[in-house]
Amino acid sequence: MLVPDSGDNTVWGYITLMCSEIKLGNTHTLDDCEAANRYSDFPSVKIARLAVDHRIQGRGYGDALVQFAVFIARRNIMPRIGCRFLVAESKAGALNFYQRIGFTVLDTEKNKQRRLPVVFIDLNKLHSD
């Protein structure tokens, strides 16, 4: 949760995570793990909710919340449950936000037709913290 330092009870923003999966389908392969390519589904951590108060949007708080989620996923979740991806379902207005901070739109026909397209980051390909 993102709250001001002043001690009042205002919530400026929040992010929630949950276990999920990503379906890469037949068109995607993992170049660093040939054995994994026989699977179409992979465990992931999903950004279930992300919100920043409209009065403070555009100041980098959304980026910071997502970076916090990446940190939690890599440090606390990956080693315990073996997830590889951080995923989100992007609202139309947030697609550029996710792409700007490093997410990739899942490139399948089904995903392109979705009202909330799936975006993802491969946590294995990020630099170590």
Structural domains in the chain, sorted by start = 13-125 (3.40.630.30)
Strand arrangement of the beta sheet that strand 104-105 belongs to: 13-23, 41-52, 85-89, 118-122, 104-105
Please tell me the pTM assigned to this model. Answer: 0.81
User: Would you state the pLDDT for residue 34?
Assistant: 54
pLDDT in tens, 62-72: 999 999 999 99
pLDDT in tens, 24-46: 665 555 555 555 556 677 888 99
CB contact set of 85 (below 8 Å; sequence gap of 6+): 22, 42, 43, 44, 45, 120, 121, 122, 123
